[in-house]
Amino acid sequence: INLEGKSFELPTLEGTENEKAIDIAKLRDLTGYITFDPGFKNTGVTKSSITYLDGEDGILRYRGYSIEELADKASFLEVAYLLIHEELPTQAQLDAFSAEIQSYTQVNQDLLRISEGFPTSSHPMCTIAALVGAMSAFYSTDEAGDDEKSVLRLLAQLPVMATWSYKKSIGEGIVQPDTSADYCSTFLQMMFAKPGEKYTADAVVSKALNKLLILHADHEQNCSTSTVRLVGSSHANLYASISAGINALWGPLHGGANQEVIEMLEAIKADGGDTDKYIAMAKDKNSGFRLMGFGHRVYKNFDPRAKIIKKAADDVLTALGVNDPVLAIAARLEAAALSDEYFVARKLYPNVDFYSGIIYRALGIPTDMFTVMFAIGRLPGWIAQWKEMRANKEPIGRPRQIYTGATSRAFVEI
Ligand code: MLT
């Protein structure tokens, strides 16, 4: 077919289930869901073979593997390997990958000094974005093989630097990573152990965290990921590109939403906990109230990640015996929204941010760290997207603009 002077080949809708799904996605592109305009080479037309997402049917797959199966059976590092290296690792490859990451956990002490210079009140997203950006001042990014080292260093050190920020905010000394524990347990130990104390992470908490990180590991071309690709398209190094991604994720409309959800629930609790009142306000456009954590730009169905987290949240709350009035308010809001015609008609289901905030709270993660957890989870996805963009030799991003200002004006001297 010919559209606006360009010819496109119509998809055949034949072949395997996966090929058909890809054809359907292409057909959606052609029929206006997305303007597929490769001529402009901007972030809206990126091709990628990392994450497949179907917002109509609520399907999410990393490199062809279903998110449900990965969240159930894989470890976060297996998924990180899959995203970055395109294949699931063998046991030997996974052991080598984990050992390499562990060998990079010692962060440069000058970065620690920079971190200590931040005010105690600094939001941890601000601190980690700055520290990751600063990494390129300390490590080479110019020679062959440096990118692979940067990948390992980031995977090893982002969680370490994230816990520095938290420890500082509570006035406690930092805890060194325990390289004999798994990725999630090491993180929990650095967060919750007192310096010098022996600490063993709770297996329920560690397992739930593993699942959460997997569910956040990639989500095709969202705001932070396309930022990483766009910044990297100018050949800015991996640290600079990931730092930009962390800043993009911080915003309350993106990764910051899970923090907003808990703050909203706290505010509802402080106001007496009347969820019916807030459901009514959410339906009233003039109320000024926005129900955080409901609806998603691409999912016209339940976000598949939300389904998995909801179940995990229920299991964690039961296993840990958590009895938290804020979480009870969340449960009432969820039930009301799922049965209310207004929300059902608009497909405003609770999304991943709604449940992730709840589960992080149940795991004892402080609210300011919620978005940081998202960043730690998303890191392998950002890395994979950056590497794919560079491997494809994509040209520098140049988003398209439609000019809406004055056509031509004469300068008047004052
Ligand atoms: C994400 O996981 O990045 C969010 O759901 C936002 C998005 O995909 O646009």
Question: How many other CB atoms are there within 10 angstroms of residue 216's CB atom?
Answer: 25
What pLDDT is recorded for position 297? 84
Average pLDDT over residues 248-261: 93
Q: What's the pLDDT score for residue 337?
A: 82
* Mean model confidence pLDDT for the chain: 90
Annotated catalytic residue 219 = no
Q: Which atom of ligand 1 is nearest to the CA of 222?
A: 9
Atom 9 of ligand 1, nearest CA residue: 222
- Return the CATH superfamily for domain 69-250+367-391: Citrate Synthase, domain 1 (1.10.580.10)
- The average pLDDT across 200-207 equals 93
**Hey, is 307 helix, strand or coil?**
helix
- The answer to whether 301 and 55 have CB atoms below 8 angstroms apart is yes
Exposed, middle or buried, 262 (CB in 10 Å: 0-12/13-18/19+)? buried
Cα of 198 vs centre of ligand 1, distance in Å, is 37
Q: Which of 123, 216, 296, 303 is catalytic?
A: 296
Instruction: List the alpha helices (DSSP H) in 233-283.
Output: 238-250, 257-270, 275-283
Q: Is the pLDDT of residue 12 over 70?
A: no
Q: Which residue has the tokens 């050992």?
A: 99
**pLDDT tier at 302, thresholds 50, 70, 90:** confident
Look-up of token digits 């894989």: 74
Q: Which of 83, 296, 354 to mutate to test the pocket of ligand 1 (most atoms within 8 A of CB)?
A: 296
**To the nearest whole percent, how much of the chain has pLDDT over 70?**
89
Which among 222, 229, 296, 382 is the best mutation to test ligand 1's pocket, defined by most ligand atoms within 8 Å of the CB? 222
**Domain boundaries along the sequence of the chain:** 69-250+367-391, 257-362
Q: Which of 259, 275, 269, 263 minimizes the C-alpha distance to 357? A: 259
Structure tokens at 87: 């294949």
ipTM of the predicted structure? 0.97
Q: Which fold has domain 257-362?
A: Cytochrome p450-Terp; domain 2 (1.10.230)
Instruction: Decide which of 153 and 36 is more confident.
Output: 153
Distance 51 CA to ligand 1 centre (A): 12
Provide the CA 104 distance to its chain's centre, in angstroms.
23
What local confidence, expressed as pLDDT, does residue 30 receive?
59
Q: Which two tokens stand for residue 353?
A: 């941010």
Average pLDDT of the segment spanning 370-376: 97
Tell me how far the alpha carbon of residue 222 lies from the centroid of ligand 1, in angstroms: 5
Q: Give yes or no: 254 in active site.
A: no
Better-predicted residue by pLDDT, 414 or 323: 414
DSSP character string of 163-208:
HHHHHHHTT-------TTS-HHHHHHHHHHSPTT------HHHHHH
| Angle (deg, nearest 10), helices 257-270 and 352-362 | 70
Is the pTM higher than 0.80? The answer reads yes
For residue 357, give both structure tokens. 């905030």
As a whole number of angstroms, the distance between CA 272 and CA 269 comes to 5
Q: Can you tell me the distance from the alpha carbon of 53 to that of 319, in angstroms, rounded to the nearest whole number?
A: 32
Helix, strand, coil proportions of the chain in percent (round to 5)? 60, 5, 40
Mean pLDDT calculated for residue range 41-59: 81
**For the ranges 123-127, 235-239, 293-297, which has the lowest average pLDDT?**
293-297
Rounded CA Rg of the chain: 22
pLDDT at residue number 13? 62
Under the banding of pLDDT at 50, 70 and 90, the label for residue 243 is very high
Distances (CA, A) of 181 to 186, 287, 302, 308, 390: 6, 49, 35, 25, 33
Question: Would you say the CB of residue 385 lies under 6 angstroms from ligand 1?
Answer: no
Q: Is the CB of 398 under 6 A from ligand 1?
A: no
